[in-house]
Amino acid sequence: MRTNPTNRLSEIVINAQLEIGDALSQDTLEHLEDLNEDLVYVSQSIEQAQARFAKVLAENRQMKAFLLQTVKDCWCVEGNRCARCQNTLITLSHFEV
């Protein structure tokens, strides 16, 4: 049986296109898996940064409260603070207590 060279060429092109399409799909899938791994890593990094920031924020709040309490417990009075309390209040004013 004779084959038509045009049909044979068309079949070769179709097979090549299917192979290329399959290879591209596999590459795309691998790239998406890599991207997913990267996003998981970034997400974990952000969660760790948030946890560290929350801890620092809590410590800062505690330190500010302690410093304010030391000013309140000092022998000096509001409106006539000693130098140490004035410095403490000035420092705290920069942090918007």
User: What confidence tens digit (pLDDT) does each residue in 20-37 have?
Assistant: 988 889 999 999 999 999
What do you get for the CA distance between the two ends of the chain, in Å? Answer: 93
User: What confidence tens digit (pLDDT) does each residue in 41-97 have?
Assistant: 999 999 999 999 999 999 999 999 999 999 999 999 999 999 999 999 999 998 764
For tokens 């899938």, the residue is 29
CA distance 95 to 91: 7
pTM: 0.61
CA distance 19 to 11: 12
Buried b (16+ CB within 10 A) or exposed e, 9-46: eeeeeeeeeeeeeeeeeeeeeeeeeeeeeeeeeeeeee
Whats the size of the chain, residue-wise?
97
> pLDDT-based confidence at 1, cuts 50/70/90?
low
Which pair of structure tokens corresponds to residue 82?
């000693």
